[in-house]
Structure 1
Amino acid sequence: MIYQWVRCPVCNNKTRIQVRADTEMKNFPLFCPKCKQESLISIKENKITVIKEPDAKTQSQ
């Protein structure tokens, strides 16, 4: 099996996560040790999608 490093969507550096070609993730909180950012991502067929969630302050009550 070939593993691929997951790259940070903010700074494009390698994270500590490796995935195989058949890996699927939904709503995975990816943390980058270099830029200290956390991003919510989904992975399917080695395609990484960043999930944008509304900020808690902007939600109406």
Structure 2
Amino acid sequence: MSDLKKWLFCPICGGKTRLQLLETTELKDFPLFCPKCKREMLIRAVNYKVQLIK
């Protein structure tokens, strides 16, 4: 298992959030807040791929 961490970027503005993802991290219906654009959105993340839930 690799301990490679990657920063989670906002899917709307592209700004860096306060979260890091590991390769094994899975998020479902996660409320993500972006400190740059001041928006909160629901996301899904698997294998470093982030999807915005409408």
Q: Which residue, out of 6, 21, 24, partners 1:22? A: 24
Structure 2, unaligned stretches of length 5 or more? none
In 2, are the aligned partners of 1:3 and 1:20 still within 8 Å (CA)? Answer: yes
Structure 1, unaligned stretches of length 5 or more? 53-61
Q: Runs of 4+ in structure 1 displaced over 2 angstroms?
A: none
Greater share of helix residues, 1 or 2?
1
Overall identity of the aligned pairs, in %: 50
Greater share of strand residues, 1 or 2?
2
CA distance in 2, matches of 1:19, 1:2: 8
Q: Secondary structure at the match of 2:38?
A: coil
What's the TM-score once normalised by structure 2's chain length? 0.91
Matches within 5 A, 1:21-60: 21-52=23-54
- Aligned residue pairs, count: 52
Q: Which residue, out of 5, 12, 15, partners 1:13? A: 15
What's the TM-score once normalised by structure 1's chain length? 0.81
